[in-house]
Structure 1
Amino acid sequence: MNRSKIFGIAAILAAGLSTTACTSIREPRGYIVDNILLNTVQPGIDNERSVAATLGRPTFTSQFGDPTWYYVSSTSGRKPFVRPRIQEHQVLAVKFDASGNVVSADRSGLDQVVYLTPDGDETPTLGRERSFLEDLFGNIGTVGQPGLGGQGGGPGG
C-alpha cells in the first residue's frame, strides 16, 4: 500500500469517528409506548382489570382524589459531555370511577412538562443553626438525666 491510500483510509476513519462522537444518545425511560394498545383503552367499556391486562402495571397511581393510573414515557437525548434534554414525553392518565370502570383516558405531552430551577443549594428549615461539633456532641450529658427517659437502666427497669 502506498502512503496516499493509508492517509485516505485514516481520513475516512477519522471522519467516521468524529461524526459518531457528535450524535445524540437516545435514552428511553418509563413505560414503552405502543400507540395501538393505548388506543384500545375506551371509557365505558374497559375496567381496571382489562386496562392492567392490556397496558400492564402503571408507572404510578394517584394517592388523592379519583383513582387514576398514570403511564409515563420519556425519551431523552444527550450529546457527550452535555446535560441530557427531554426529546419526547407522553403521559396517559386513565381515570376510574368507584366501581373500577374507565371514565376517561387522557394524553398529555411535552407541552405539559415544567422545568424547575432550584434556588440555591440549601433547603431552608425552621429551628436554630447548629455547628458540626454541636451535632456531634449534642447528646452528651442528656442521657440519664431525670425526666428525660434515661433512668431505669433499660426496658421494664
Structure 2
Amino acid sequence: MLAIRNRVCTAIAMFCLVVLGACSATYQNHGYAPSDEELAELVVGVDTRATVDDVVGPPSASGMLSDGNYYYVRSRVRHFGMYRPQVVERQVLAISFDQNDAIANIERFGLQDGNVVPLSRRVTDSSVVSNGFLRQLLGNIGNLDPSQLFN
C-alpha cells in the first residue's frame, strides 16, 4: 500500500514539473544590428560605404536604389504557451550616406521611439477572398447562358 502511494506521489510530482516546464517562455532572435563598439570604428563624414561593408558587414536591407541607405534590423520575439508571439525588443540601425558615398548620419531606433512599422508587406488582392472550392463550384451552376449553347 505504501509503495503504491509513493508511486502516485512521484507521478503527480513529475506531472507538475512537466506542466511548469511547459509554461516557460521561449525567445527567438532575428536579424543583426552592429554593437556600439563596432560603430565606434566608423567616423561620420570620413568613412565610406565600402568601409561600412568591411567593418560591420553588408546589411540585410538597404534603400530602394543601389545607392540607398543601409538598414540593420534586429528583433527579439517572446513565445509563451498558447498566446500570440510578442515582439519585446526591436532595433533598427540606419546608416545614411551623402552623394559622395561618405557616411552622413548613424541613427538607432527602437520600439520605444514610435509605432511598429512593417518592413515588408506583400499583399496580393484576390477575387477569391471568402469563397471556398465548393462555393465556387456551386456558384457556376446558375451562370449558364443558353444563347452561348447554340453558337
TM-score norm. by structure 2 comes to 0.65
- Partner of residue 71, structure 1: 72
Tell me, yes or no, if structure 1 residue 45 matches structure 2 residue 64: no
Q: Give the gaps of 5 or more residues in structure 2.
A: 119-123, 128-135, 141-147
Rounded to whole Å, the distance in 1 between the matches of 2:96 and 2:117 is 26
**Could you list the runs of 4 or more consecutive aligned residues of structure 1 that deviate by over 6 angstroms after TM superposition?**
none
Rounded to whole Å, the distance in 2 between the matches of 1:109 and 1:87 is 10
Rounded to whole Å, the distance in 1 between the matches of 2:74 and 2:40 is 15
Deviations 1:28-62 (A, max 9, x none): 11225534224433312321111111221112111
- Partner of residue 59, structure 2: 58
Query: RMSD in angstroms over aligned alpha carbons?
Result: 3.2
TM-score norm. by structure 1 comes to 0.63
Alignment of 1:88-103 (within 5 A): 88-103=89-104
Q: Give the gaps of 5 or more residues in structure 1.
A: 117-121, 126-130, 134-140, 142-157
- Partner of residue 84, structure 2: 83
Rounded to whole Å, the distance in 1 between the matches of 2:53 and 2:17 is 46
Rounded to whole Å, the distance in 2 between the matches of 1:38 and 1:8 is 57
- Relative distance call for 1:17 and 1:102 in structure 2 (3 A) is same
- Partner of residue 113, structure 1: 115
- Relative distance call for 1:9 and 1:83 in structure 2 (3 A) is same
> What is the deviation of 1:79?
1.4
